[in-house]
Amino acid sequence: MAPPPAPQRLYRLRLRLLLVISLLVALVVVSGIATVLTGLASRRAILEAHDLEVASRRAALLSVTAREQYIHEAHTIILRDRSHVEHHDAWVSELGAKLAELRPGLDAEAATKLDDIGKASRELSRLFSTAILPAIDRQDWHEVHHAHDRANALVDRMTEHADSLARHFDERAMAAERRAEQFIRFALILATAVCALAAALALIAGRKLWRSFSTPLASLERVAERVTAGDRSARVEPVAAVELAAVADAFNRMLDALSRTEADLVASERLGAIGRVAAGVAHEINNPIAVIRGYVKTMAKEAEKPELREELSILDEEAAACQRIAEELLMYTRSPVLSPRPVQAEELLRNAALHCDGAPGRAPPVLVDAEPAFITVDPLRIRQVVVNLVTNAREATSGTSAGDDIVVRGRQEDDGYRIEILDRGAGIPEEARERLFEPFFTTRRDGTGLGLAVCYGLVTAHGGTIRAEPRPGGGSRFVIDLPGVLIDGARESQERA
């Protein structure tokens, strides 16, 4: 024996959609944050490279400034006067200012080289002022030549350090540019990876979501095609998606309602046809039965033997039963014409109890417990319904103890009135209660199945409902609800006037 199929695991489409959208949004956010961070880092590296290139050019200018300082010293030696001393001092000051501009943000190696340039510039300036200029004034050319050699060595040292500092800045600028390129490359790789991951996620999730939608919708389509083809038993299989399961359940309920409606229509048409035929038959046989009863009663009066009178009485009773069936058929097939008017509900129910078959006081007795109220109904039709229900209750309780009374109860319900008929009979089986008010359905051997159907038609003609329920403790309880029939005090006084 094959094992039963495992139950479907329910899920919510909105949660799946929310999860997919959240993942895509998270990927976009992560990609955006990473792109912004790498962009900022790349921008910082580019700005750093630019600053280092500027610093490299400034470092290169240090070499030019150092040579300008030396050139004015050389001019002083050549001209053998102090005409270039002022220019020499200006270039010394300019070199000091450029060294001060380069100092912020330098690492230890670059700062050391910068300090060496400044130290050599100061030594060169001191050599110019303490050795070269006094030797020129003394015309000691040997000392001038010796001091010039020392100055030339200092200038070479300054230019060497300036060139080394420029190369240092160039190397750092190139490293910063490489970092910027790496950041840009990383951003491109990350963006490509995120796009690929998002595309893959969208493809996988899209396929799953499409199957989540397409499978139930295809099932709905197949069932609709089967129903269109005439298969009224087709139903949508259980759906795992909670949202679509509600649609499938509503679709199945609609098909159930459609099947019931169709069955009711077929039954109604069948009953209508039967009713029309039965009404015709009842109309045709009602007159002959009346003639037969008339002759039977005449014969009973003229009969001399008691046996013959008893037999004629039996014939009259059977003919009366046939006549009652014919009248019930005619009443069922005709739409009831109501003549509503204000009546006292308590008096109406007591009058109906008095008109029941059998004299008052016959076991089981009928007790009326009605709340006084004025209602607008057709009193003859409502009395007919109550009499029919009380008669059925009396037949259901025949043979029971005298203490099991039949109760006719009346109560106000909002703007309406409720009538209840309660008995202590054998009760009505549950399967019979569902068909109790159908025409030609009866649980009695001698019943026609039309009495309760006529009651149902009369109550519904008043806009009310009638139902049968089991009575607590045993027996049956018929409940008639007549909404909107209650008359308030002001209207009651006007109607009575």
Return the closest-CA partner of residue 353 out of 398, 396, 392, 383.
383
Please give the structure tokens belonging to residue 320.
């009366």
Neighbours of 9 (CB within 10 A): 6
Q: Give the separation between CA 161 and CA 179, rounded to whole angstroms.
A: 27
pLDDT tens for the 497 residues of the chain, in order: 445 555 566 667 677 777 778 887 887 888 788 888 888 888 888 887 777 787 777 777 777 777 776 777 777 777 777 777 777 778 778 777 877 777 777 778 778 887 887 888 788 778 777 877 787 777 887 887 887 788 788 878 888 878 888 888 788 888 888 888 888 888 888 888 888 888 887 788 778 777 777 777 787 788 888 888 878 778 877 776 666 777 778 878 888 888 778 777 776 676 566 666 666 666 666 667 777 777 777 777 777 677 777 777 777 777 776 766 666 666 666 666 788 999 999 999 998 888 774 544 455 788 899 999 999 999 988 998 998 899 888 888 876 554 568 899 999 998 999 999 999 888 888 877 777 877 777 766 666 667 788 888 889 989 999 999 999 888 899 999 999 999 875 445 444 54
The length of the chain in residues reads 497
Whether residue 151 contacts residue 122, with contact meaning beta carbons closer than 8 Å, is answered with no
Architecture of domain 336-496: 2-Layer Sandwich (3.30)
Could you tell me where the DSSP H helices lie in 80-132? 85-102, 108-127
Fold matches, 13-208 and 336-496: no
| List of E strands, 233-361 | 341-344
- What's the confidence (pLDDT) of residue 497? 47
> Does domain 13-208 correspond to CATH entry 1.20.120?
yes
Architecture of domain 242-332: Orthogonal Bundle (1.10)
Q: Give the separation between CA 334 and CA 332, rounded to whole angstroms.
A: 6
Beta bridge partners of 425: none
Neighbours of 232 (CB within 10 A): 13
- The ranges assigned to domains in the chain are 13-208, 242-332, 336-496
Q: Give the separation between CA 180 and CA 373, rounded to whole angstroms.
A: 96
Neighbours of 186 (CB within 10 A): 16
Please give the structure tokens belonging to residue 53.
């290139």
Instruction: Kindly state the DSSP code that residue 231 receives in the 8-state scheme.
Output: -
Whether residue 447 contacts residue 494, with contact meaning beta carbons closer than 8 Å, is answered with no
Phi, psi for 72 (deg, rounded to 5): -70, -30
Contact residues for 127 (Cβ-Cβ < 8 A; gap 6+): 147, 150, 151, 154
Q: Is 127 helix (H, G, I), strand (E, B) or coil?
A: helix
Whether residue 245 contacts residue 16, with contact meaning beta carbons closer than 8 Å, is answered with no
- What's the confidence (pLDDT) of residue 422? 93
